[in-house]
Amino acid sequence: MATLLETIAPTGHKGLTYPFGGTEPAQGDVLQVAPGIDWVRLKIPGPLKHVNCWLLADTDGDALIDTGMNTTEARDAWKAVFNGPKSDTRITKMIGTHFHPDHIGLAGWMCDHHAAPLLMTRGEWLTARMLAADARDSVPTEVLAFWRGAGWDDDQIAHATAKGWAGFRRIITPLPLSYTRLQDGDTLTIGARDWRIVTGSGHSPEHACLLDEAGGILIAGDQVLPRISPNVSLGVTEPGADPLGEWFASIAKLKTLPADLLVLPGHGDPFTGLHARLDAMDREHRERLDELEVFLAEPRRSIDCFGRLFRRAIGPDMLGMATGEALAHLRRLEVEGRALRETVDGVWWWRAT
């Protein structure tokens, strides 16, 4: 088992401190970040490259927070963990912070292998079950209309349609039929620590963070990341929602937590400086809204807004996420009374008021 040396120098970035100086667990190994808390890092496909999972010492094993995606590489890494540093350990509880497949992709596999209960918020569990159950060969007509509304051309729609509508189910293992509901304010006693559930939304419907206030630790999932802002998207399932407004409200809620917590994020390295990071995320999105409002002096589609929102080119594989995030910003401007939407031949055009 890898351990952290007290001689490792902390490093800082934009008001944050990284107390472990960039040290991370090797694939298939664990690294202790605090007494009774071990860190597992798994590779995932795509630009994020990895996801963090956390093992919490329990009375007769470890509770597991998040699992990685359902890939052969991730399963092999977990087998190495349980054949190596955790060879005498069983999973007592399988806790999913939110429904995204890089976080619960192997939750069903873990529950089955360890006879462990699954714990999630209702919003996340139901969303995961819905997406898995809705797998089908052809893309629904509502989704095609959503893509056209966002301004996608025929080639972009054809590329996305070729993937079918079963991608979510392919990258998770089947979830148990039953689960234990987590609610905001609940307290979970795991070993010697008490963890309070703190929920947020915007990135996902009812994301669960776990707070050990006595120990000064927040397991943040994707609700707070150190170097990137989590994707906040408007989707076809609730096109009238205001996910960015929910995101701002969640940031304000998390600002009520102590500022000096050690934050254990779903991606990136553990850090301190929670309030500085929350302020930076809030400021970044509000600045984007202001820039977007100016850009809407002439009518624009959501795809026309990419250059104002993102610092990278958007290829076919990132088109869906980029569209969802652009729509979330446009919708927020609409909610704030700063933009209006018109539909012309099935395409949405936004302009500043």
Query: pLDDT by residue (tens digit) across 294-347?
Result: 999 999 999 999 999 998 889 998 999 999 999 999 999 999 999 999 999 999
Looking at residue 83, its pLDDT comes to 97
Given pLDDT bands bounded at 50, 70 and 90, which one contains residue 12? low
Beta strands in 222-322 (DSSP E): 262-265
Distance from C-alpha of 274 to C-alpha of 16, rounded to nearest angstrom: 8
Given pLDDT bands bounded at 50, 70 and 90, which one contains residue 198? very high
Using an 8 Å Cβ cutoff, are 341 and 329 in contact?
A: no
The residue type at 85: P
Looking at residue 205, its pLDDT comes to 97
Distance from C-alpha of 238 to C-alpha of 197, rounded to nearest angstrom: 25
Using an 8 Å Cβ cutoff, are 165 and 140 in contact?
A: yes
pLDDT of 225-280, one tens digit each?
A: 999 999 999 999 999 999 999 999 999 999 999 999 999 999 999 999 999 999 99
Looking at residue 46, its pLDDT comes to 86
Domain 11-292 coded CATH 3.40.50.2300: no
Looking at residue 13, its pLDDT comes to 58
